[in-house]
Amino acid sequence: MRIQEVIYRVRPDVIIETGIAHGGSLIYYASLCQAMNHGRVIGVDIDIKPENRRAIEEHELSKLIVLIEGSSVAPEVVQTVHSSVKPGETTLILLDSNHTRAHVASELEAYHDLVTPGSYVIATDGVMKDLYDVPRGRQEWESDNPAAAAIEFAKAHSEFVIEEPALEFNEGLITNRITYWPSAFIRRIR
- Identify the domain containing residue 77 by its residue range: 2-188
For residue range 121-130, list pLDDT tens digits in order: 999 876 666 6
Contacts of 139 (CB under 8 A, 6+ apart): 132, 133
User: Which CATH number is 31's domain given?
Assistant: 3.40.50.150
Are 117 and 139 in contact by the 8 Å Cβ rule? The answer is no
Beta pairing, strands 14-18 & 40-45:
parallel
pLDDT band at 182 (very low <50, low <70, confident <90, very high): low
Overall domain count for the chain: 1
Closest alpha carbon to 162 in 187, 135, 138 = 187
Cα 24 to Cα 6: distance, rounded to the nearest angstrom: 18
Cα 115 to Cα 25: distance, rounded to the nearest angstrom: 20
For residue range 127-173, list pLDDT tens digits in order: 666 667 788 877 786 788 999 999 999 999 999 999 988 777 767 77
Residue 40 has pLDDT above 60, yes or no: yes
Residue 80 has pLDDT above 90, yes or no: yes
Closest alpha carbon to 108 in 150, 61, 170, 165 = 150
